[in-house]
Amino acid sequence: MSAELTRFSHLLDSINVGKVNIITGNNGAGKSRFIATATTKILGEPLPSKSKFRHVLCLSGTHNDKFPREIWQLGSENPEICYLGYKVANNMISDIAPFRVIVKALLGKNATRRCSPEAINFCLQKLNIDAEIKLHFRYGKNRKDSLSEFVSKEIQFDIQAFQSTDKSLAIASALEEKDLSLQTISVKRESNYYTLSDLSSGERAYMVALLGALYCAQDNSLIFFDEPENSLHPAWQRSILKDFRKTLELNNIDATILVATHSPLIAGSISNHDAFTCNFPNGQKWQESDLYGKTTDNTLKNQFNLYSSRSTTVVELTQKCLSYITEGDFGSPRLYEAIDLLLSLDLKPEPGDPMHEILQTLEHLREHHELP
């Protein structure tokens, strides 16, 4: 076994149960390989007999997730696996795919146990939608005559008041057998209905996350969430894991979460006693997080090894100017070329920003050829 695979196996075996385990690292550092290795290893263990986890739930903020083929192939057949990504076949993706899984879970025979009213209300509030939704279906080939008797191409119901019935179970069965397929969902805001195509990609991603936690997570789940930050506004990056966990909590679901992210807002969004981090490629073990409450710049520096969130052009020109000043070389034409280039960028830092004072100093130096 290679050193990387050994490290991956150790990290999975030592995962902090019931907590949020956060993987960070540069592109190509191995985060996606770790997720692929971890899910493959879990698949190789008979669930639940030999594993500490009874269920695996896979979510992805990207269409190009690295979950192994077995996950998205078996997810529709194996009740111990749930895939809420976008892959439906080799080189084929579908934006509606995760919603089809969620709707089958909502309508299925186990939905009632998972429908905590508090959790439903919380999700509706966070998603800014009403309880009334519409499901739009398409009949399978040669199935219209037999199916249209009990299900129309559009059904409407209130998810707060939803109760499993023979009809809902029959619809779930028809969806499972592919005699019926979900075409889209319409959600209601105030008096208007919006289909999924009317929503932004960020809205759809947040909806998949919260409704997935509501209807698809089970007790003792291991939940993989690959790059949840994609398409999300920074404010939503800061709240998505917190809202996801709150949904699980209100639904009385105990779960372990493993997140791979490039976002300092996501990495620092969970309280330190509930989160553990590992920075690839050199991280060898989980460390209790110390990122909660830190500024984004501090998180970028301490966890992502990025020492400034400024444009690299600004950083390089500033460092060039300061190096000449440190050496006392006030007569170098290159110093003033660098100052001119930096000032030409028309930067507007806030008064409390160190760059504000640096620019004032450089402007004085440019005019007087000496420091103020």
pLDDT of residue 290: 96
CB distance 345 to 316 below 8 Å: no
Residue with tokens 């020109």: 317
pLDDT of residue 169: 84
Task: Report the predicted TM-score, pTM, of the whole model to 2 decimal places.
Answer: 0.89
**Token pair belonging to 85:** 């990504």
Which H helix or E strand runs over 281?
A: none
pLDDT in tens, the chain (372 residues): 577 778 888 899 999 999 999 999 998 888 988 998 888 888 777 654 446 888 999 999 998 888 988 888 876 667 788 999 999 877 789 999 999 999 999 988 665 456 789 999 999 999 999 999 999 998 888 777 677 677 788 899 899 988 888 888 888 888 888 888 999 999 999 889 999 999 999 999 999 999 999 999 999 999 999 999 999 999 999 999 999 999 999 999 999 999 999 999 999 999 999 999 999 987 779 999 999 999 998 999 889 888 888 899 999 999 999 998 988 888 899 999 999 999 999 999 998 888 999 999 999 998 888 888
DSSP letter at 273 equals G
SS3 category, 184: strand
Determine the Cα–Cα distance for residues 259 and 276; give it in Å rounded to an integer.
10
CB distance 18 to 256 below 8 Å: yes
- Bridge partner list, 89: 92
pLDDT of residue 73: 80
**Token pair belonging to 338:** 């660098």
Phi-psi region of 21 (alpha: psi -120 to 50; beta: other; left: phi over 0): beta
How many CA atoms are closer than 13 Å to the CA of 164, on its beta-carbon side? 17
Residue with tokens 């969970």: 270
**Domains observed in the chain:** 3-304 (3.40.50), 312-368 (no CATH)
Neighbours of 91 (CB within 10 A): 5
Radius of gyration of the chain (CA): 26
End-to-end CA distance of the chain: 62
DSSP letter at 268 equals T
CB distance 174 to 151 below 8 Å: yes
pLDDT of residue 182: 94
User: Helices 354-368 and 333-344 meet at what angle, rounded to 10?
Assistant: 130
DSSP letter at 267 equals H
Neighbours of 1 (CB within 10 A): 8
